[in-house]
Structure 1
Amino acid sequence: MEQKAFTVQAIGHIENNEKSSFIQLLPKYTEALEGLEGFSHLKVIYWLDKMDQPEMREIFQVASPYKQAPDILGIFATRSPIRPNPLAVSTSGVIHLDKENGRIQLDYIDAENNSPLLDIKPYTPSEDRVETPLVPEWSAHWPKNVETSGDFDWENEFNF
């Protein structure tokens, strides 16, 4: 199969600072928010623009960032920003939806300030939740949901 190139365009950006996190859509996309009211969480797809360097796209294995994992992992077994295509997907809670101004306040997102926003999708348990997922033994002790993840001692899990 031949390798294809794709063109993506940012639909806005992510604002992230010590105080809060926001999605800010470009004005032409604000009408796309219609019907989003009532969803408690969103899947946010964004570009890791600070990691978008040709040499980073050619790294396929990394020293494990996790203390209890094997020493070397393929990047697809990590959530590393080093990727062939520097895409990120986060599930974030919605605090406030301002449809008129195309602005969504989030409870948290693991994104750099001003990361280009590519898409948002509503989180729906029927499509996005796996009731009993299997994970490798080295990560089996991690929290089972985002609600308890904030209280977990993540600093003891990483090699950095």
Structure 2
Amino acid sequence: MKEAREGEERLAFDPADNDGPRVAFIGRIHTPWKPGDAPGNVAGARKRVAKEGGAFRIELAEGYQPGIKDLTVGQHIIVLYWMDQARRDLIVQTPRHADAPRGVFSLRSPNRPNPIAMSTVEIVSLDVEAGVIGIDALDCFDGTPVVDLKPWIATIDAPVA
């Protein structure tokens, strides 16, 4: 277990021990990122892709292919993914970009009781039969499990001005 930074607080229990709802991973994300190399967010991933290139795809597990039949190249989707290598014991964190400790629910850090991440990405290629979605970029390690995919819909997902 990593040492806590100054000001960080750990939970008194491990959320992974909770016998709550079960999640079925529907596939895996493939990226060029490895531990110690991943950008901090999808915007950072896009910047690195612009400089370095890189291929990103979601490969669905067997049986889930029909679920993407109405997606299209150029469409944006919301990817929910399980940051399986993240810490789950921090409730207050000291991020490098902040000047003081912050509550986990005010951060987009993968280190949280349920390490669910969310990014909106663009579909750049699509093979429905194979269950492979090419996407513009993502910020997670290669092999990260996918929890769900949802279409990004401007009238629902865009913030109200």
Question: Could you say what secondary structure the match of 1:13 adopts?
Answer: strand
Question: Which of 11, 23, 26 is the aligned partner of 1:11?
Answer: 26
Q: How does 1:98-137 map to 2 (within 5 A)?
A: 98-132=127-161
Is there any run of 5+ residues in structure 2 with no aligned partner, and where? 1-17, 33-52
Residue 59 of structure 1 pairs with residue 90 of structure 2: yes
State the match for 1:156 in structure 2: none
Displacement of 1:82 in angstroms is: 0.7
Displacement of 1:127 in angstroms is: 1.0
Contact 2:73 2:123 in 1 (8 A): no
Return the alpha-carbon distance in structure 1 between the equivalents of residues 141 and 156 of structure 2: 27
- What RMSD in Å do the two structures reach over aligned CA positions? 1.7
Contact 1:27 1:101 in 2 (8 A): no
Displacement of 1:70 in angstroms is: 4.2
Return the alpha-carbon distance in structure 1 between the equivalents of residues 139 and 76 of structure 2: 14
Question: CA-to-partner distance for each residue in 1:86-132, whole Å, 9 max, x for gaps?
Answer: 11111111101111110000001111100011110111111111143
Question: Could you say what secondary structure the match of 2:63 adopts?
Answer: helix
Displacement of 1:4 in angstroms is: 6.5
State the match for 2:62 in structure 1: 27
TM-score, normalised via structure 2 length = 0.71
Displacement of 1:58 in angstroms is: 2.7
Q: Identity percentage over the alignment?
A: 31
TM-score, normalised via structure 1 length = 0.72
Count the aligned residue pairs: 124
